[in-house]
C-alpha cells in the first residue's frame, strides 16, 4: 500500500472526525481525498462522495431523530425536490457533460478539470460560511412556517449542486431551513442531516446504473468515516467546536485555492 493511499484512508477517518466535532463540513474533504490521495477519477469520486456523505449523515440523522430534533415535515418538503434534482443530475446531466468543455488560449478545460474547478468554488463558498459563523441565522423561537415556492427552488438548486460536486451542501441547506421554514438553529442542523442523507443516497443510485462501483473500497472508506464520527463526538467534549469550525474553514479555503492552482497549473 502506497503512502498516498494510507493518507487517503486517514483522510476518510478525518472526514468523520470533523463531522462529529463540528456537525458538518467534513464532507467537503471527501472529493479532494478521493481524487488527490486515492487517484480516483473526479466523476467517480463525486459518486463515491455521495455514498460516503449520505451514509455518514444518516448515522447523525438517526441519532438526532432519537432526541426529537429532526423536523420530519420540513425534511420531506425540502428533500423531495432535492433528491429528484440530484438523481436527475447524476443519472443524466453529469454523463451528458462533454469531455472537452472549452479552451482558454492553449489550455484545454476538460470535464474532469471543470468538475474540480466547480468543486473548488463550492469549497471556497463553504469556507466563508464556516469562517463567518452563523450568528445572523438565529431567529427568535416561532411557529414553523413554509415558503413553499422558495423551499422547492432551493431544494432543486442544492440537489443540482450536490449532484455535480458530491458534497452535502449543508452550508446552503441550513440557512434555507432557518430563513424559509423558520426552524430554530439546532433543529435546522439536525434536519439538514436527514435531507443530506436522503438526497445523497438517492443521487448515488443514479451512479450505480452508470458507473462501475468498487464496493469493497467504498464500504471500507465509508466505515472509516462513520467510525470517525463517533471519535469526533467523543473529542467534542474536550474541544471548542466554534473555534475549530473557523480554523477548519480557513483550511477548506486553502484547499479550495490549492485545487484551482493544481487544476490550472
**pLDDT, tens digit, for every residue of 12-34?**
999 888 877 776 666 788 999 99
Helix, strand, coil percent values for the chain (each to nearest 5): 75, 5, 20
For cell 473526479, the residue is: 42
Return the closest-CA partner of residue 128 out of 175, 193, 166.
Answer: 175
> Which position has the higher pLDDT, 101 or 23?
101
d(CA 165, CA 175): 20
DSSP 3-state of 102: strand
- The single-letter DSSP state of residue 139 is P
% of the chain exceeding 70 in pLDDT: 93
Per-residue pLDDT, 36: 94
Mean of per-residue pLDDT scores for the chain: 86
Using the predicted structure, report yes or no on whether residue 157 has a pLDDT greater than 70: yes
Q: Decide the pairing of beta strands 100-104 and 107-110.
A: antiparallel
pLDDT at 156: 92
Q: Where are the beta strands (DSSP E) in the chain?
A: 100-104, 107-110
pLDDT digits (tens, 9 = 90+) for 126-142: 888 888 875 555 554 55
| pLDDT greater than 80 at residue 249 | yes
The pLDDT of residue 167: 77
Q: Which pTM does this prediction carry?
A: 0.84
> Where is average pLDDT lowest: 87-91, 95-99, 183-187, 247-251?
183-187
- Tell me what pLDDT residue 10 has: 95
pLDDT bin (cut points 50, 70, 90) of residue 150 is: confident
Helix (H, G, I), strand (E, B) or coil at 107: strand
Least-confidence region, from 42-46, 149-153, 201-205, 222-226:
149-153
Query: Three-class SS of residue 110?
Result: strand
What does the DSSP assignment read for 35-75?
A: IIIS---HHHHHHHHHHHHHHHHHHHHHHHHHTT---HHHH
d(CA 114, CA 97): 10
Cell 412556517 identifies what position?
145
Q: How far is CA 54 from the centre of its chain?
A: 9
Contacts of 63 (CB under 8 A, 6+ apart): none
Residue with cell 480516483: 40
pLDDT for residue 18: 82
Q: Is a pLDDT exceeding 80 seen at residue 260? A: yes
CA atoms within 13 A on the CB side of 131: 12
Q: Model confidence over 204-231: pLDDT tens digits?
A: 998 998 899 999 999 999 999 999 988 9
pLDDT value at position 144?
58
What is the model's pLDDT at position 118?
Answer: 92
Residue with cell 443519472: 91
Question: Cβ distance 241 to 21 under 8 Å?
Answer: yes
Cα gap 50→205, rounded to integer Å: 10
| Owner of C-alpha cell 456537525 | 23
3-state DSSP assignment of residue 184: coil
For residue range 164-208, what is the model confidence (pLDDT) as tens digits?
Answer: 988 777 777 888 888 888 888 788 888 888 998 899 999 899 899
% of the chain with per-residue pLDDT over 90: 43
Amino acid at each position: 500500500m502506497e503512502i498516498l493511499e494510507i493518507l487517503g484512508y486517514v483522510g476518510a477517518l478525518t472526514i468523520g472526525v470533523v463531522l462529529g466535532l463540528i456537525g458538518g463540513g467534513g464532507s467537503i474533504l471527501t472529493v479532494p481525498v478521493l481524487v488527490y490521495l486515492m487517484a480516483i477519477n473526479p466523476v467517480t469520486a463525486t459518486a463515491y462522495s455521495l455514498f460516503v456523505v449520505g451514509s455518514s449523515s444518516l448515522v447523525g440523522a438517526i441519532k438526532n431523530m432519537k432526541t426529537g430534533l429532526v423536523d420530519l415535515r420540513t425534511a420531506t418538503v425540502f428533500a423531495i425536490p432535492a433528491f429528484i434534482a440530484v438523481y436527475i443530475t447524476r443519472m443524466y446531466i453529469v454523463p451528458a457533460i462533454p469531455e472537452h468543455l472549452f479552451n482558454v488560449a492553449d489550455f484545454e478545460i476538460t470535464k474532469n478539470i471543470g468538475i474540480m474547478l466547480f468543486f473548488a468554488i463550492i469549497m471556497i463558498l463553504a469556507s466563508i460560511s464556516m469562517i463567518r459563523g452563523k450568528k445572523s441565522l438565529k431567529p427568535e423561537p416561532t411557529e414553523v412556517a413554509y415558503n413553499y415556492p422558495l423551499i422547492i427552488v432551493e431544494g432543486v438548486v442544492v440537489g443540482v449542486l450536490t449532484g455535480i460536486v458530491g458534497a452535502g451542501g449543508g452550508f446552503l441547506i441550513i440557512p434555507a431551513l432557518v430563513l424559509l421554514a423558520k426552524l430554530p438553529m439546532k433543529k435546522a442542523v439536525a434536519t439538514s442531516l436527514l435531507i443530506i442523507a436522503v438526497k445523497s443516497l438517492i443521487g448515488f443510485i443514479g451512479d450505480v446504473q452508470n458507473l462501475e462501483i468498487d464496493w469493497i473500497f467504498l464500504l471500507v472508506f465509508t466505515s472509516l468515516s462513520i467510525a470517525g464520527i463517533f471519535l469526533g463526538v467523543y473529542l467534542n467534549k474536550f474541544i471548542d467546536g466554534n473555534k475549530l469550525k473557523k480554523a477548519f474553514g480557513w483550511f477548506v479555503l486553502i484547499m479550495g485555492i490549492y485545487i484551482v492552482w493544481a487544476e490550472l497549473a
